[in-house]
């Protein structure tokens, strides 16, 4: 939370524009001949401003860590590069360096007094809900994020100078009224339509196809009915789950795991804690004396000019309190009581517990089975590599998969026929572990050739396989696929009949017959769809149908494929409703357009500066910083 507070300090509209730079990689990667030899200590230089390898790598690793936290798992360097994290970060850092270099060349500066004023006025650097800057809270923020005051001030000074540059040409942009109105109408316009749904039932059952029709269709589409190449595959899988099923876990081991971490099996105790901080221990002692004499905790807070929300730490678990000594003291108090002065990491504190919510823990017998599964899974993971090595030793000695499986108590799985898509002759997918990896490798391996071991992603195990035989692709005879040919012929002819029917109804309506009458004569219901919006699928109206509706004028007629193909819709626009926006909504849209214009100006400005002062990227240093051989 503390780190988030610090980062919020740079979260104004200027920072948002900076973030947009990540999308526009052409600012860096579009510059011709930008990669060239440089000092190995710098990833890039912008004019005389350098971006060191250590600074880039520190921020790169920090972003990988945050990306992993968001994903809920570790992110590998290869995945980070696949996400383009290296390019986006370099773009951002080069954009910052560009503004720093320009500010230096223009001799821009900010006085220490002005910098202090900006920091004190930033709500992100105040206690939650506080109306005034609190030096003690600010110092706590810096300490909890491992930042010195000097480093923070230097970073804020750079940010303030960049903001001066951006505001000098982007501030005060006003979106043209005609553009605002056009966007409002485009995004907010609503249309109502009447429509006829032409379904397969509307065209009736088709006459049964003749043998000649089916054979003609088969000959024209023979490749669609071709039997693919199949391969017979044997495999053995070694996974943590496979091993875990063979591992016995005692009740004693499960009980030990339960006792060591009971908190995960229930709700931990929570308390509503209020805190008053004192920079001088004697002030805290004096306040504690007043409380003993009859004053309340609220009286002391009011005396120090603190609002209730400025003392309230919330309803928290003990581990959520930043200072361990404060947390320990708060959870030792009775409900409603006030502590003696507590000497914490950030000063002396008086604590008041306003509310206690007791925790509840599930009994051991209720979670024993789960604990045993978890312990078995952990033990299986630790044994996985040993089991892998045992299998590899057997392979090296010339043992077959069947012999290895027998010796290592593993199961051989046989798949008689699998095509490149992972499907069996009946069209069902093969229930194969690591299917995509195994099938790709199996179709690259000939029978009798020993295949490489497949390691499953995320340490999920290993697979050994052999391609036993190959059944070549072939043209199926007509009699083999007659049922499939009949089904495909029926589908296509039905779609043609539906389209012909829809075009016929549309032609009648375009000839001047009211759509309601057209529907009645065709014995089809006329339906209503109100509130269609541009670009949004709505009921039977597919993306194509909605786009067609908004291509028409009021009263216009059209037809398009419905959501449920091959059904088609014949429709007429009955009402075009322009948006009626409130003044607040109108202002919001105008501001968004203005910010987009400001962003475009900033991008052009940065591009011009970079062409003027020059940007160089050190390919070697960049590759080393991200742990890659090269950048693609």
pLDDT exceeds 60 at position 286: yes
531/67: higher pLDDT: 531
pLDDT at residue number 527: 96
Residue by residue, DSSP assigns 401-438 as HHHHHHHTT--EEEEEEE-TTSB-TTSPBP--TTHHHH
Q: Where are the alpha helices (DSSP H) in 238-360?
A: 240-244, 251-260, 281-292, 297-303, 308-311, 324-330
- Residue (of 422, 419, 420, 397) closest to 408 by Cα position: 397
Q: Region 86-98: what's the mean pLDDT?
A: 85
CATH code 3.10.50.40 region(s) in the chain = 269-358
| Topology given in CATH for the domain delimited by 269-358 | Chitinase A; domain 3 (3.10.50)
Q: What is the pTM of this model?
A: 0.49
284/628: higher pLDDT: 284
pLDDT exceeds 60 at position 516: yes
Q: What are phi and psi of 602, to 5 degrees?
A: -60, -45
Q: Region 253-269: what's the mean pLDDT?
A: 81
Bridge partners of residue 196, in order along the sequence? 570
How does the average pLDDT of the chain come out, rounded?
84
pLDDT at residue number 40: 58
Give the least confident one: 202-211, 215-224, 537-546, 578-587.
578-587
Condensed to tens digits (0 to 9), the pLDDT of residues 153-175 reads: 888 888 888 777 776 665 667 77
**If pLDDT is split at 50, 70 and 90, which confidence band does 628 have?**
low
Q: Where are the alpha helices (DSSP H) in 293-434?
A: 297-303, 308-311, 324-330, 364-396, 401-407
CATH code 1.10.4030 region(s) in the chain = 2-172+596-626
Hey, how many other C-beta atoms are within 10 angstroms of the C-beta on 306?
Answer: 20
Range with top average pLDDT, 244-258, 483-497, 598-612: 483-497
pLDDT at residue number 608: 83
pLDDT at residue number 97: 84
Q: 620: helix, coil or strand? A: helix
Q: Region 369-377: what's the mean pLDDT?
A: 87
Condensed to tens digits (0 to 9), the pLDDT of residues 120-147 reads: 888 888 887 777 787 778 777 777 777 7
As a whole number of angstroms, the distance between CA 344 and CA 329 comes to 10
Q: Region 342-366: what's the mean pLDDT?
A: 87
As a whole number of angstroms, the distance between CA 158 and CA 119 comes to 13
Q: Region 291-296: what's the mean pLDDT?
A: 90
**If pLDDT is split at 50, 70 and 90, which confidence band does 552 have?**
very high
**Where is 214: in which H helix or E strand?**
helix 211-220
pLDDT exceeds 80 at position 263: no
2-172+596-626 has CATH 1.10.4030 classification: yes
pLDDT at residue number 171: 61
241/286: higher pLDDT: 286
Q: Region 255-273: what's the mean pLDDT?
A: 83
∠ CA 600-603-605 to the nearest 5 degrees? 110
As a whole number of angstroms, the distance between CA 468 and CA 236 comes to 14
Q: Region 598-603: what's the mean pLDDT?
A: 78
pLDDT exceeds 50 at position 83: yes
Q: Region 529-537: what's the mean pLDDT?
A: 92
Condensed to tens digits (0 to 9), the pLDDT of residues 416-441 reads: 999 999 999 988 999 999 998 999 99
Q: 451: helix, coil or strand? A: coil
Condensed to tens digits (0 to 9), the pLDDT of residues 175-193 reads: 787 787 777 778 888 999 9
Instruction: Determine contact, residues 479/214, Cβ cutoff 8 Å.
Output: no
Instruction: From residue 199, give the alpha-carbon distance in Å to each of 208, 508, 520, 547.
Output: 19, 18, 15, 21
Q: Region 549-563: what's the mean pLDDT?
A: 95
230-242+378-471 has CATH 3.10.50 classification: yes
Q: Region 377-401: what's the mean pLDDT?
A: 88
pLDDT exceeds 80 at position 88: yes
- β-pairing, 557-561 vs 568-577, is antiparallel
Q: Region 273-277: what's the mean pLDDT?
A: 91
**If pLDDT is split at 50, 70 and 90, which confidence band does 496 have?**
very high
- Residue (of 380, 404, 382) closest to 394 by Cα position: 404
pLDDT at residue number 20: 42
Hey, how many other C-beta atoms are within 10 angstroms of the C-beta on 337?
Answer: 12
SS (HEC) of 140-202: HHHHHCCCCHHHHHHHHHHHHHHHHHHHHHHCCCCCCHHHHHHHHHHHHCEEEEEEEEECHHH
The upper half-sphere exposure of residue 223, i.e. CA atoms within 13 Å in the direction of its Cβ, equals 0
pLDDT at residue number 29: 37
As a whole number of angstroms, the distance between CA 579 and CA 586 comes to 11
Range with top average pLDDT, 1-5, 72-76, 136-140, 540-544: 540-544
Q: Region 20-27: what's the mean pLDDT?
A: 38
As a whole number of angstroms, the distance between CA 415 and CA 232 comes to 6
Instruction: From residue 604, give the alpha-carbon distance in Å to each of 22, 32, 33, 169.
Output: 14, 17, 20, 11
pLDDT at residue number 274: 93
309/200: higher pLDDT: 200
pLDDT exceeds 60 at position 625: yes
pLDDT at residue number 126: 81
């Amino acid at each position: 939370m503390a780190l988030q507070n610090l980062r919020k300090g740079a979260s104004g509209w200027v920072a948002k524009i900076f973030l947009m730079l990540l999308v526009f990689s052409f600012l860096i990667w579009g510059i011709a001949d930008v990669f060239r030899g440089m000092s190995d200590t710098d990833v890039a230089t912008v004019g005389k401003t350098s971006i060191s390898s250590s600074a880039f790598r520190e921020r790169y690793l920090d972003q990988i860590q945050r990306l992993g936290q968001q994903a809920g798992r570790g992110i590998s360097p290869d995945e980070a590069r696949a996400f383009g994290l290296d390019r986006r970060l370099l773009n951002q850092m080069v954009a910052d360096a560009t503004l720093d270099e320009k500010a230096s060349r223009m001799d821009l500066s900010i006085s220490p007094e002005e910098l202090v004023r900006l920091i004190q006025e930033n709500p992100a650097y105040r206690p939650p809900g506080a109306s005034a800057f609190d030096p003690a809270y600010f110092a706590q923020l810096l300490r909890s994020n491992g930042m010195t005051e000097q480093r923070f001030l230097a970073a804020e000074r750079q940010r303030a100078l960049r903001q001066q540059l951006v505001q000098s040409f982007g501030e005060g942009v006003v979106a043209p009224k005609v553009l605002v109105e056009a966007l409002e109408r485009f995004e907010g316009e609503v249309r109502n339509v009447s429509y006829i749904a032409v379904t397969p039932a509307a065209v009736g059952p088709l006459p049964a196809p003749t043998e000649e029709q089916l054979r003609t269709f088969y000959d024209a589409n023979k490749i669609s009915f071709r039997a693919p190449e199949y391969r017979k595959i044997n495999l053995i899988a070694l996974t943590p789950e496979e091993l875990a099923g063979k591992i016995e876990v005692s009740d004693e081991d499960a009980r030990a795991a339960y006792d060591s971490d009971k908190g995960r099996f229930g709700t931990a105790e929570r308390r509503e804690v209020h805190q008053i901080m004192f920079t001088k221990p004697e002030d805290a002692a004096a306040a504690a004396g007043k409380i003993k004499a009859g004053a309340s905790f609220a009286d002391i807070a009011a005396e120090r000019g603190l609002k209730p929300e400025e003392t309230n730490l919330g309803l928290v678990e003990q581990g959520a309190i930043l200072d361990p000594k404060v947390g320990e003291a708060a959870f030792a108090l009775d409900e409603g009581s006030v502590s003696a002065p507590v000497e914490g990491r950030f000063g002396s504190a008086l604590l008041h517990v306003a509310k206690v919510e007791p925790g509840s823990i599930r009994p051991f017998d209720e979670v024993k089975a789960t604990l045993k599964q978890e312990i078995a899974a952990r033990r299986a993971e630790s044994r996985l590599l040993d089991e892998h090595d045992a299998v590899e030793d057997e392979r090296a000695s010339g043992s077959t998969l069947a012999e290895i499986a027998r010796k290592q108590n593993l199961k051989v799985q046989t798949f008689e026929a699998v095509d490149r898509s992972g499907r069996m002759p009946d069209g069902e997918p093969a229930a194969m572990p690591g299917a995509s990896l195994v099938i790709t490798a199996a179709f690259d391996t000939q029978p009798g050739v020993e295949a490489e071991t497949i390691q499953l992603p995320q340490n999920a195990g290993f697979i050994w396989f052999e391609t036993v035989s190959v059944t070549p692709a072939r043209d199926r005879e007509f009699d083999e696929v007659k049922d499939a040919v009949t089904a495909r012929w029926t589908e296509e002819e039905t779609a043609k009949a539906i389209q012909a029917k829809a075009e016929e109804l549309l032609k009648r309506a375009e000839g001047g017959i009211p759509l309601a009458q057209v529907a009645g004569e065709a014995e089809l219901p006329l339906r209503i769809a109100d509130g269609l919006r541009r670009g949004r699928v709505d009921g039977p109206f597919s993306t194509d149908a909605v786009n067609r509706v908004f291509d028409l004028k009021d009263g216009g007629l059209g037809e398009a494929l419905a959501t449920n193909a091959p059904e088609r819709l014949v429709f007429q626009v009955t009402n075009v409703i322009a948006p009626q926006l409130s003044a607040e909504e109108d202002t919001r849209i105008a501001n968004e357009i203005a910010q987009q214009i400001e962003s475009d100006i900033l991008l052009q400005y940065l591009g011009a500066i970079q062409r003027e002062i020059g940007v160089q990227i050190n390919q070697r240093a960049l590759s080393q910083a991200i742990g890659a051989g090269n950048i693609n």
